Homo-oligomer: A and B are copies of this chain.
Amino acid sequence: MALADEAGLDGLSMRRLATELGVVPMALYKHVANKDELLDGIIDAVVSEIDLAPVDGDWKPAIRGRILAARQTLLRHPWAAGAIEARRAPTPAVLAYMDSIIGLFRAGGFGVDLVHHVIHALGSRVLGFSQELFDDSPTDPDAQEKAAHAMAGTYPWLAEMALRVAHDEKTVVGSGCDDQFEFEFALDLLLDGFERLRQAG
What CA separation (Å) do A99 and B133 show in the bound complex? Answer: 14
Contacts of A124 in B (CB 8 A): 131, 133
What CA separation (Å) do A115 and B84 show in the bound complex? Answer: 29
The yes or no answer to A88 lying at the interface (CB within 8 A) is yes
Asked whether, in the complex, the Cβ of A189 is within 8 Å of the Cβ of B90, the reply is no
Contacts of A112 in B (CB 8 A): 160-161, 164
The yes or no answer to A121 lying at the interface (CB within 8 A) is yes
A141-181 interface code vs B (CB 8 A; 1 in, 0 out):
00000000001001111101100110000000000010000
Asked whether, in the complex, the Cβ of B161 is within 8 Å of the Cβ of A102, the reply is yes
Asked whether, in the complex, the Cβ of A117 is within 8 Å of the Cβ of B182, the reply is yes
Report whether over half of chain A's contact residues are helix, strand or loop; otherwise say mixed.
helix
Total copies of this chain within the assembly: 2
Asked whether, in the complex, the Cβ of B155 is within 8 Å of the Cβ of A116, the reply is no
Interface size class of A (residues with CB under 8 A): 35 or more
**Residue among A90, A151, A157 with the highest chain B CB neighbour number at 10 A:** A157
Asked whether, in the complex, the Cβ of B157 is within 8 Å of the Cβ of A99, the reply is yes
A74-97 interface code vs B (CB 8 A; 1 in, 0 out):
000000000011011110001110
Contacts of A125 in B (CB 8 A): 123
What CA separation (Å) do A95 and B176 show in the bound complex? Answer: 20
Contact of A120 among B123, B127, B132, B155 (CB under 8 A): B132
The yes or no answer to A18 lying at the interface (CB within 8 A) is no
The yes or no answer to A65 lying at the interface (CB within 8 A) is no
The yes or no answer to A103 lying at the interface (CB within 8 A) is yes
Asked whether, in the complex, the Cβ of B160 is within 8 Å of the Cβ of A120, the reply is no
> Given A85-B85, A95-B151, A131-B85, A185 and B121 touching (CB < 8 A)?
yes
The yes or no answer to A126 lying at the interface (CB within 8 A) is yes
Distance in Å: Cβ of A99 to nearest Cβ of chain B: 4
Residue of B nearest to A197 (CB): B189
